[in-house]
Amino acid sequence: MVAALNFPLNLPLAKSGVDRAAHLRLDQAELDALWLRAKILHFNGEKFLTDATGLRFLAPEKIEGGERYFLGIDSDSTPYFVLRSDELLGSEEEYRSLREAQFNELHIGLAVHSQSLSLWHKRHPKCSTCGSDTFPTLGGSVRKCASCETDHYPRTDPAIIVLTRDSDDRILLGRQQVWPEHRFSTFAGFVEPGESFEAAVIREVKEEANVSVHSIQYVGSQPWPFPASLMIAFSAIIEDPASAAPDGEEIVDIKWLDRDSIIAELKSETLLLPPPMSVARAMIDAWYKADGVDRPRLDSPESWR
Protein backbone atom coordinates (compact mmCIF):
# COMPACT_ATOMS: atom_id res chain seq x y z
CA MET A 1 0.00 0.00 0.00
CA VAL A 2 1.51 3.33 -1.07
CA ALA A 3 1.40 5.84 1.79
CA ALA A 4 -0.35 9.15 1.18
CA LEU A 5 1.68 12.35 1.32
CA ASN A 6 1.30 14.52 4.40
CA PHE A 7 -0.50 17.82 3.87
CA PRO A 8 -0.11 20.70 3.72
CA LEU A 9 3.28 20.88 2.06
CA ASN A 10 5.75 23.40 3.43
CA LEU A 11 5.99 25.78 0.48
CA PRO A 12 7.99 28.85 1.60
CA LEU A 13 7.45 30.94 -1.54
CA ALA A 14 3.67 30.49 -1.37
CA LYS A 15 3.42 32.51 1.85
CA SER A 16 2.43 36.16 2.02
CA GLY A 17 1.84 38.62 4.83
CA VAL A 18 0.14 41.42 2.90
CA ASP A 19 -3.23 42.10 1.30
CA ARG A 20 -2.57 43.07 -2.31
CA ALA A 21 -5.54 45.49 -2.07
CA ALA A 22 -6.14 45.54 -5.82
CA HIS A 23 -8.92 48.14 -5.49
CA LEU A 24 -6.34 50.75 -4.45
CA ARG A 25 -4.54 50.43 -7.78
CA LEU A 26 -7.45 52.24 -9.47
CA ASP A 27 -6.84 55.51 -7.62
CA GLN A 28 -3.53 57.21 -8.49
CA ALA A 29 -4.09 59.94 -5.89
CA GLU A 30 -4.50 57.28 -3.21
CA LEU A 31 -1.38 55.47 -4.40
CA ASP A 32 0.58 58.73 -4.21
CA ALA A 33 -0.62 59.26 -0.64
CA LEU A 34 0.29 55.67 0.30
CA TRP A 35 3.76 56.12 -1.19
CA LEU A 36 4.48 58.98 1.22
CA ARG A 37 4.10 56.67 4.25
CA ALA A 38 5.18 53.39 2.66
CA LYS A 39 7.92 50.91 3.38
CA ILE A 40 9.84 50.62 0.13
CA LEU A 41 12.13 47.78 -0.87
CA HIS A 42 14.69 48.03 -3.65
CA PHE A 43 15.21 45.44 -6.38
CA ASN A 44 18.01 46.21 -8.82
CA GLY A 45 17.00 43.61 -11.39
CA GLU A 46 18.86 40.76 -9.71
CA LYS A 47 19.05 41.33 -5.95
CA PHE A 48 17.33 43.02 -3.02
CA LEU A 49 18.73 45.60 -0.64
CA THR A 50 18.95 43.84 2.75
CA ASP A 51 20.19 44.25 6.29
CA ALA A 52 20.62 41.93 9.28
CA THR A 53 16.83 41.57 9.69
CA GLY A 54 16.02 40.76 6.04
CA LEU A 55 14.75 43.32 3.56
CA ARG A 56 15.98 46.85 4.17
CA PHE A 57 13.17 49.36 3.68
CA LEU A 58 13.73 52.85 2.30
CA ALA A 59 11.96 56.13 3.09
CA PRO A 60 10.16 57.73 0.11
CA GLU A 61 11.89 61.09 0.48
CA LYS A 62 15.27 59.48 -0.17
CA ILE A 63 14.23 57.97 -3.53
CA GLU A 64 14.72 59.42 -6.99
CA GLY A 65 14.16 57.76 -10.36
CA GLY A 66 13.27 54.17 -11.13
CA GLU A 67 9.83 52.63 -11.42
CA ARG A 68 7.63 51.97 -8.39
CA TYR A 69 5.04 49.22 -8.04
CA PHE A 70 2.43 48.82 -5.32
CA LEU A 71 2.62 45.52 -3.41
CA GLY A 72 -0.14 45.82 -0.82
CA ILE A 73 -0.95 46.61 2.81
CA ASP A 74 -0.22 44.60 5.94
CA SER A 75 -2.49 44.00 8.94
CA ASP A 76 -1.29 47.27 10.51
CA SER A 77 -2.33 49.23 7.38
CA THR A 78 1.32 49.80 6.40
CA PRO A 79 1.66 50.09 2.60
CA TYR A 80 4.52 48.44 0.71
CA PHE A 81 6.04 49.32 -2.64
CA VAL A 82 9.01 48.04 -4.60
CA LEU A 83 11.37 50.38 -6.41
CA ARG A 84 12.98 48.89 -9.52
CA SER A 85 16.15 50.64 -10.63
CA ASP A 86 19.55 49.48 -11.80
CA GLU A 87 21.71 51.48 -9.40
CA LEU A 88 22.80 50.40 -5.94
CA LEU A 89 21.20 52.25 -3.01
CA GLY A 90 23.55 50.64 -0.50
CA SER A 91 26.83 48.79 -0.59
CA GLU A 92 27.18 45.86 -2.98
CA GLU A 93 27.52 43.52 0.02
CA GLU A 94 24.08 44.58 1.25
CA TYR A 95 22.36 43.13 -1.81
CA ARG A 96 21.15 39.53 -1.71
CA SER A 97 19.27 37.42 -4.21
CA LEU A 98 16.06 35.65 -3.30
CA ARG A 99 18.02 32.40 -3.34
CA GLU A 100 20.66 33.73 -0.93
CA ALA A 101 18.61 35.68 1.58
CA GLN A 102 17.03 34.41 4.80
CA PHE A 103 13.66 36.16 4.87
CA ASN A 104 10.74 35.85 7.26
CA GLU A 105 7.23 35.13 5.93
CA LEU A 106 6.38 38.79 5.36
CA HIS A 107 9.65 39.57 3.61
CA ILE A 108 9.64 36.48 1.41
CA GLY A 109 6.10 37.21 0.21
CA LEU A 110 7.09 40.79 -0.64
CA ALA A 111 10.27 39.63 -2.36
CA VAL A 112 8.54 36.99 -4.50
CA HIS A 113 5.87 39.47 -5.62
CA SER A 114 8.49 42.17 -6.24
CA GLN A 115 10.82 39.98 -8.27
CA SER A 116 8.06 38.49 -10.41
CA LEU A 117 6.55 41.88 -11.16
CA SER A 118 9.85 43.70 -11.68
CA LEU A 119 11.25 41.12 -14.10
CA TRP A 120 8.03 41.26 -16.15
CA HIS A 121 8.27 45.06 -16.38
CA LYS A 122 11.93 44.86 -17.35
CA ARG A 123 11.17 42.43 -20.20
CA HIS A 124 8.26 44.43 -21.64
CA PRO A 125 9.38 48.00 -22.36
CA LYS A 126 7.75 47.91 -25.82
CA CYS A 127 4.20 47.34 -26.98
CA SER A 128 3.70 43.97 -28.69
CA THR A 129 0.92 45.50 -30.80
CA CYS A 130 2.63 48.54 -32.31
CA GLY A 131 6.21 48.52 -30.98
CA SER A 132 5.98 51.83 -29.11
CA ASP A 133 7.17 52.48 -25.57
CA THR A 134 5.07 51.30 -22.65
CA PHE A 135 4.82 52.72 -19.14
CA PRO A 136 3.56 51.30 -15.83
CA THR A 137 0.10 52.20 -14.59
CA LEU A 138 -2.44 50.99 -12.01
CA GLY A 139 0.25 50.66 -9.37
CA GLY A 140 2.49 48.63 -11.67
CA SER A 141 -0.12 45.93 -12.32
CA VAL A 142 -0.37 46.99 -16.00
CA ARG A 143 1.87 48.47 -18.68
CA LYS A 144 0.12 50.80 -21.12
CA CYS A 145 1.30 51.67 -24.61
CA ALA A 146 2.05 55.37 -24.97
CA SER A 147 0.92 55.28 -28.61
CA CYS A 148 -1.98 52.86 -29.19
CA GLU A 149 -2.97 52.73 -25.49
CA THR A 150 -3.08 48.93 -25.40
CA ASP A 151 -2.99 47.55 -21.86
CA HIS A 152 -0.45 44.77 -21.21
CA TYR A 153 -0.85 42.49 -18.20
CA PRO A 154 1.78 40.40 -16.40
CA ARG A 155 2.01 36.80 -17.54
CA THR A 156 2.87 33.75 -15.47
CA ASP A 157 4.16 30.54 -17.05
CA PRO A 158 2.42 27.46 -15.57
CA ALA A 159 4.71 24.47 -15.02
CA ILE A 160 3.84 21.09 -13.55
CA ILE A 161 6.15 19.27 -11.16
CA VAL A 162 5.48 15.71 -10.08
CA LEU A 163 6.71 13.28 -7.44
CA THR A 164 6.55 9.83 -9.07
CA ARG A 165 6.40 6.64 -7.00
CA ASP A 166 6.03 2.93 -7.68
CA SER A 167 3.84 0.38 -5.87
CA ASP A 168 6.66 -0.21 -3.35
CA ASP A 169 6.64 3.51 -2.47
CA ARG A 170 10.05 4.17 -4.00
CA ILE A 171 10.46 7.58 -5.64
CA LEU A 172 12.02 8.10 -9.05
CA LEU A 173 14.23 11.17 -9.48
CA GLY A 174 16.03 12.49 -12.54
CA ARG A 175 19.20 14.42 -13.20
CA GLN A 176 19.85 17.14 -15.77
CA GLN A 177 23.33 17.46 -17.25
CA VAL A 178 23.55 21.18 -16.36
CA TRP A 179 22.98 20.58 -12.65
CA PRO A 180 25.75 20.20 -10.05
CA GLU A 181 27.21 16.72 -9.76
CA HIS A 182 24.92 14.23 -7.95
CA ARG A 183 21.94 16.64 -8.04
CA PHE A 184 18.63 14.78 -8.61
CA SER A 185 15.11 16.12 -8.50
CA THR A 186 11.50 15.42 -9.41
CA PHE A 187 10.27 15.69 -13.00
CA ALA A 188 8.87 18.98 -14.24
CA GLY A 189 8.01 20.91 -17.36
CA PHE A 190 5.97 23.76 -18.78
CA VAL A 191 2.32 23.30 -19.67
CA GLU A 192 1.87 23.56 -23.43
CA PRO A 193 -0.90 25.61 -25.11
CA GLY A 194 -4.27 23.87 -24.95
CA GLU A 195 -3.01 21.29 -22.42
CA SER A 196 -4.44 20.44 -19.00
CA PHE A 197 -2.24 20.07 -15.94
CA GLU A 198 -2.95 16.34 -15.79
CA ALA A 199 -2.08 15.86 -19.46
CA ALA A 200 1.16 17.77 -18.91
CA VAL A 201 2.06 15.46 -16.00
CA ILE A 202 1.53 12.36 -18.15
CA ARG A 203 3.44 13.80 -21.10
CA GLU A 204 6.44 15.16 -19.18
CA VAL A 205 7.01 11.98 -17.16
CA LYS A 206 6.74 9.85 -20.29
CA GLU A 207 9.11 12.12 -22.22
CA GLU A 208 11.73 12.39 -19.49
CA ALA A 209 11.61 8.98 -17.77
CA ASN A 210 9.81 6.68 -20.26
CA VAL A 211 7.12 5.62 -17.76
CA SER A 212 3.34 5.98 -17.61
CA VAL A 213 1.56 7.26 -14.50
CA HIS A 214 -1.87 7.09 -12.93
CA SER A 215 -3.57 8.29 -9.70
CA ILE A 216 -2.48 11.86 -10.37
CA GLN A 217 -3.12 13.97 -7.27
CA TYR A 218 -2.75 17.73 -6.86
CA VAL A 219 -0.65 18.56 -3.79
CA GLY A 220 0.07 22.31 -3.92
CA SER A 221 1.55 25.25 -5.81
CA GLN A 222 3.92 28.14 -5.35
CA PRO A 223 5.37 30.92 -7.49
CA TRP A 224 8.88 30.39 -8.82
CA PRO A 225 10.03 33.84 -10.02
CA PHE A 226 13.11 32.67 -11.99
CA PRO A 227 11.83 34.50 -13.91
CA ALA A 228 8.04 33.96 -14.08
CA SER A 229 6.84 30.44 -13.34
CA LEU A 230 4.05 29.04 -11.20
CA MET A 231 4.86 25.51 -10.10
CA ILE A 232 1.76 23.29 -9.85
CA ALA A 233 2.69 20.18 -7.89
CA PHE A 234 1.29 16.66 -8.22
CA SER A 235 2.04 13.17 -7.04
CA ALA A 236 1.52 10.16 -9.32
CA ILE A 237 1.99 6.40 -9.31
CA ILE A 238 4.14 4.73 -11.97
CA GLU A 239 2.44 1.93 -13.91
CA ASP A 240 5.54 0.37 -15.49
CA PRO A 241 8.62 0.93 -13.27
CA ALA A 242 10.72 -1.58 -15.24
CA SER A 243 10.49 0.74 -18.26
CA ALA A 244 12.11 3.69 -16.50
CA ALA A 245 14.97 5.23 -18.48
CA PRO A 246 16.32 8.77 -18.97
CA ASP A 247 15.55 10.43 -22.30
CA GLY A 248 19.28 11.13 -22.75
CA GLU A 249 18.69 14.77 -23.65
CA GLU A 250 17.04 16.73 -20.85
CA ILE A 251 17.37 13.91 -18.30
CA VAL A 252 20.70 12.06 -18.41
CA ASP A 253 20.31 9.80 -15.37
CA ILE A 254 17.56 8.49 -13.11
CA LYS A 255 17.64 7.12 -9.58
CA TRP A 256 15.22 4.97 -7.58
CA LEU A 257 15.21 5.77 -3.86
CA ASP A 258 13.46 4.36 -0.80
CA ARG A 259 13.67 5.96 2.63
CA ASP A 260 16.75 4.03 3.70
CA SER A 261 18.68 4.51 0.48
CA ILE A 262 18.05 8.24 0.35
CA ILE A 263 19.70 8.61 3.77
CA ALA A 264 22.57 6.33 2.75
CA GLU A 265 23.26 8.28 -0.44
CA LEU A 266 23.14 11.62 1.33
CA LYS A 267 25.69 10.35 3.86
CA SER A 268 27.94 8.97 1.12
CA GLU A 269 27.63 12.28 -0.81
CA THR A 270 26.35 10.57 -3.96
CA LEU A 271 23.09 12.54 -3.82
CA LEU A 272 22.20 16.23 -3.68
CA LEU A 273 18.57 17.16 -3.11
CA PRO A 274 16.75 20.25 -4.42
CA PRO A 275 16.98 23.38 -2.21
CA PRO A 276 14.60 23.73 0.76
CA MET A 277 12.53 26.55 -0.79
CA SER A 278 11.63 24.45 -3.86
CA VAL A 279 8.40 22.51 -4.45
CA ALA A 280 10.49 19.46 -5.36
CA ARG A 281 12.12 19.40 -1.94
CA ALA A 282 8.79 19.92 -0.16
CA MET A 283 7.34 16.89 -1.94
CA ILE A 284 10.38 14.73 -1.20
CA ASP A 285 10.25 15.75 2.46
CA ALA A 286 6.50 14.96 2.61
CA TRP A 287 7.05 11.52 1.08
CA TYR A 288 9.95 10.81 3.45
CA LYS A 289 7.76 11.52 6.50
CA ALA A 290 4.56 9.94 5.17
CA ASP A 291 4.99 6.50 6.76
CA GLY A 292 5.30 8.01 10.24
CA VAL A 293 8.61 6.33 11.11
CA ASP A 294 11.08 8.44 13.11
CA ARG A 295 14.19 8.84 10.95
CA PRO A 296 17.03 11.35 10.64
CA ARG A 297 16.08 14.55 8.84
CA LEU A 298 17.04 14.94 5.20
CA ASP A 299 20.10 17.18 5.22
CA SER A 300 21.56 18.14 1.87
CA PRO A 301 23.96 20.94 0.87
CA GLU A 302 22.50 23.81 -1.14
CA SER A 303 22.72 22.99 -4.84
CA TRP A 304 21.30 25.84 -6.88
CA ARG A 305 21.01 25.94 -10.59
Domains defined for the chain, CATH in brackets: 14-122 (no CATH), 124-154 (no CATH), 156-289 (3.90.79.10)
pTM over 0.85, yes/no = yes
What is the model's pLDDT at position 5? 74
pLDDT tens digits for 167-226? Answer: 999 999 999 999 999 999 999 999 999 999 999 999 999 999 999 999 999 999 999 999
Three-state SS letters, the chain: CCCCCCCCCCCHHHCCCCECCHHHHHCHHHHHHHHCCCEEEEECCCCEEEECCEECCECHHHCCCCEEEEEEECCCCCEEEEEECCCCCCCHHHEECCCCCCCCHHHHHHHHHHHHHHHHHHHCCECCCCCCEEEEEHHHCEEEECCCCCEECCCCEEEEEEEEECCCCCEEEEECCCCCCCECECEEEECCCCCCHHHHHHHHHHHHHCCCEEEEEEEEEEEECCCCEEEEEEEEEECCHHHCCCCCCCCCEEEEECHHHHHHHHHHCCCECCCCCCHHHHHHHHHHHCCCCCCCCCCCCCCCC
What is the model's pLDDT at position 51? 95
Segment 48-57 shows an average pLDDT of: 96
pLDDT tens digits for 134-168? Answer: 999 999 999 999 999 999 999 999 999 999 999 99
Segment 49-56 shows an average pLDDT of: 95
Residue 246 scores a pLDDT above 50: yes
What is the model's pLDDT at position 3? 72
